[in-house]
Every structure is written in structure tokens, then in C-alpha cells.
Amino acid sequence: QQQVKQSPQSLIVQKGGISIINCAYENTAFDYFPWYQQFPGKGPALLIAIRPDVSEKKEGRFTISFNKSAKQFSLHIMDSQPGDSATYFCAAPQGSNYKLTFGKGTLLTVNP
């Protein structure tokens, strides 16, 4: 079963710092790589996604960097805020375009 490997498992950052979460995927014929953010008691919410005809996509403080040859992509959160404290999941369509395979998640804590 194809996997999406996400690291680190947990991350503690000071307010104003940069949070970086990495993901690696296996072969996929479909190019769509989203990041989801999940708060306790809620379902995951789409944060940002990239189609790798570009190597980087930025939305506000959130940036996805994509390296197609290495089959890796990462999420950068600039000027991290306590309100960013949540679990982050990367995902990739693997094996079929009808399902997303998710990474195991990264618990981000931003200290004030």
C-alpha cells in the first residue's frame, strides 16, 4: 500500500518563528498535493494545495514548496502564531485519483 511519510510527528515553535513540516510520497499519476489543518473536535480543513506545474505556492503566511524529482513537498508557516496550534496533515492522491492518502499528521504547538 502506497504511503505518504510526514515529519516531524510533533513540533514546538515560539511565536513569530517558522514552522516547517515535510512530506514524501510514492509514485502518483495525479498532481494535487493539499495540506489540511485540524483543530480538536473538528474535521480537517483544507489549508492550501499545490498542483506542481509550479514549485511553490504562497497564501498569506502559508507556503507549499514542491520538489517533484525528489517526490517531496513541505509546508512553511511564517510568523507562527498560537492560533496556528493544530494538527497538520499532508496528502497525496496515490494509486487512484478517487482517494487521498494522508500523512500521519504533525502536532504543532506555538508557544506565546
Which of 44, 62, 74, 86 is in the footprint of another protein by CB under 8 A? Answer: 44
Burial of residue 4 (number of CB atoms within 10 Å: 0-12, 13-18, 19+)? buried
Nearer to another protein, 7 or 17 (CB): 7
Going 58 to 63 to 68 to 69, the CA torsion angle's sign is positive
Which of 30, 52, 65, 72 is in the footprint of another protein by CB under 8 A? Answer: 30
Comparing C-alpha atoms, which of 36, 34, 1, 19 is closest to residue 81? 19
* Position 45, amino acid: A
Query: Considering only residues 58-87, where is the footprint of another protein by CB under 8 A?
Result: none
Nearer to another protein, 17 or 87 (CB): 87
In angstroms, what CA-CA distances link 23 with 34, 40, 73, 112? 11, 22, 5, 27
CB of 47 to another protein, least distance (A): 11
Applying CB under 8 A, the site for another protein has a residue count of: 26
Nearer to another protein, 1 or 14 (CB): 1
Nearer to another protein, 17 or 52 (CB): 52
Going 70 to 27 to 51 to 93, the CA torsion angle's sign is negative
Residues that bind another protein (CB under 8 A): 1, 30, 32, 34, 36, 41-46, 49, 51, 89, 91, 93, 96-105
